[in-house]
Structure 1
């Protein structure tokens, strides 16, 4: 029987996220992204069912700092600022009251980046969203702040600017499904595991990014970032390094 260590090539380093104020790192297992979870119009009704969700690979999580590579195969590269939840203890069919005290390890600010033109094509064809959502470097994330240090945010600004002009602003209190309810609902669909990250949805104001744009954003009391969009000339030559936080 082949030993577990007899890999046919060296196993890639695990994806990780830095921990704020520490040399420790958080190992990333899976990345869940939640669809519409803020009102994008004043007359939007409260949903009765959990919003749609999709996944990104763990190595899509990168340090939200420096150059933000412009991805290949798109002409409509869009930003979506989000509160990120890190799961420290897994479970299935978790009760909402148990989520914060027992299952959330910490929080961060992140970007759910999208190739919007590919997403629209997938919607029209009734196809999957992977090409639009699960590309390289598509989930930048700030260092995680342990819940023991920041508590469990129930309010605070969620914001994003491009070249100093505000595009997105909301409040954590505006989540249609608050974090505890959201995590509980997700756990009814899939068994959550330590290391899972949940991007909890984005406010109105998503829009395109161009090479050279300076993108800044954050979640009050959790984290903020500044990144500069790279050139499209290098979009097809970015190495697959698995570079993570």
Structure 2
């Protein structure tokens, strides 16, 4: 029987999964380098909105499956982070503002008529995973947040220079998530390391779950790239996500 990794070793294994984060997807590399057209960036915003509205649905599914009161008390804030509460603007509204900052209307973003089938399929698969699997597995799947602050900071730092036509007020979503994601990681990581450290097999299961979520994000980027008709054929010759 394989030896159980220590908590530090297990956490390091989880963090190593960041090598497959969608920040390395060709579409995101092009985004960072300022190589996307206005239409391509708009396509990304339109499609990713479907993921944004799916996040609180995923978190509600986790809450519905979780009998632990203390976990629920902490986790529920993720829903209000995205939906907003009282006069506080949530992530969904902030994403709509991002859409307006790149030249879209509220109706363009919220109608969902521009969302590609691949994005719908991937996001729906993620929500269904959270509904059907044990809540601890769904918590583990959320740990792509380990790698999110980097990509948010990248956009905050690079977009004003490479996409000067974007109204900087639209970047509030990324600024908001910088602190929220770091907070969320602490809880998700604690639950995951505690629960899955019962055996080496469970630890490896956690890595597989995190890989599933990484695959979801990669497929979303794939679908957006293919849906962006202005992208040249040669820019699509990456075939599939690399295996790590």
Give TM-score scaled by structure 2 length: 0.25
Structure with greater strand share of residues: 1
Give TM-score scaled by structure 1 length: 0.25
